[in-house]
A and B are shown apart, each in its own frame.
Chain A
Amino acid sequence: MRAVGAIAGVELRRFLRDRSNIFFTFIFPLLLVVVIGAQFGGGASNGRVLLTEAQSSLGEDLQATLTAADVTVDASTADAAAESLARGRADVAIVITAEDAAAYDAGEPVRVEVIQASTNGAQTAAQRVQTALSELATTRAQLAALTGAGAAPDVATQALEAAEEEVPPLQVDVVDVNEISQAFAGVTGFDVGAASQVLLFVFMAALAGSGTLIDARRNGVIARTLAAPVGTGSVVAGQALGRWTIAIFQGAYVMAGTSLLFGVTWGNLPVALLVLAVFAAVAAGFAMVIGSLLDNEGAATGLGVGLSLVLAALGGCMFPQELFPDALRTVSSFTPHGWGYRAFAEVQRHDAGVAEILPHLGVLAAFALGALLLGSLLLRRSLGRAI
């Protein structure tokens, strides 16, 4: 056990001595989380709409109505709007011409052009635009009717505002018996995304550790360590322990950062940290397998980055696994990310304790144990070949 601790200690010291590692492990993931959080997190809106002739009264009224519905509205020209849509940088463009604006001011029928992008949110955003347009039309019709009946324009506006307050709202109250929406009940904004990011980064950063094992093998450090009364199991355990410590620290750090920056709730914190700890052990184990299997750092990094991205996608860390088709959800059960995701989901959304997520932890622990055993077996075999 002392040998394991000593090897882990050396790994950690080597890691900390390289100051660039500190930047890349702790500052970089948080930067990415901030970028992703700003896109999808708490501040995310109900779609992004571009508007031409934003200075006209039609543009201003439309902007006010859409903003009230939490849609982000930006002024643009028709050409720039077309380009932004083509690049997926906005969901919908409303092209108002000078004639449209004049028709609106004159109280005549208006026909604006609405263009949708091929983004996922475009249809919903287009629906919101439609609603905003009919709201504007209704208010215009009401004002016209009131002034037509003899009310002065400013009196009509005030009366309409007062009546809006007075008449009780009438809208559809949606009752959801849909399993998917219920699975997401209790989560807001960036909660799902933050858990996915933790899993993705912890795994990817830990897999980068396979390079140090290859380096140690190439320089004969492993062979010399094994000349002492230390088994391959201890060497792998020591190396993995070093990686595990870094991974868990990084995960906890991203968790703290997302809570502070985006108000992400992690449920019962000790339980969430336990999930992280077991998942980090899986990641460290995978790093040892790759570090023993491959003899080239470049190939190991390639496999590491690729494997962590593919497993993350299959496990639901890029698109929620609740929305997967059944076959794909079965596939996600064969990835550690899939189980990590489900465990975090239970803890975050349903305040689960250790007992509730015991199956998840068990599967993850089995992944970790299997990877560590395979790693030590492969390390022993790797000693027999030239590097």
Chain B
Amino acid sequence: MAKTLVVNQEKCIACRRCELACAFKKVGEFNPAAARLSVAVFLEDDVYLPIVCQHCDEPFCMEICPAGAIYRDVQTQAVKINSDRCIGCRMCIMACPFGGVDYSVSEQQVVKCDLCDGEPECVLFCPTQALEYKEPTELGLAKRKKVARRMKELMREVG
């Protein structure tokens, strides 16, 4: 299995260094609006969660892109946008249920996490290892499921 961004939700302290690191690497500015991931904060529930592209097995964005601009990187398995082919139609944004694709105002184009070609900057700057880049282990997968369940409960409470 390929390495991917593993989120350990309970370790996140919402310091948002990941957002800043990502934005700096991608556009050279500490501008969270240009980051390819964002930290969702639920103050009242004391829950923080980095939201980032899931690099799905069957990505909706890749399926819908009418320009053939979204592809899977054979090396990293990342789902990436080829900006030369992108026509900016935003169908990918419309299709992603996770908010994994975004429009970057400063770059005037559609952007998403590309796993930094195998060296995700956000992981380097995360002080608590809430973000890790590794093969999801059995335990990791189980944890992911637990987080998903926790999120579900949370949503039920709030929703």
Our verdict on whether A and B bind, yes or no, reads no
Chain B interface residues toward A at CB < 8 A: none
Chain A interface residues toward B at CB < 8 A: none
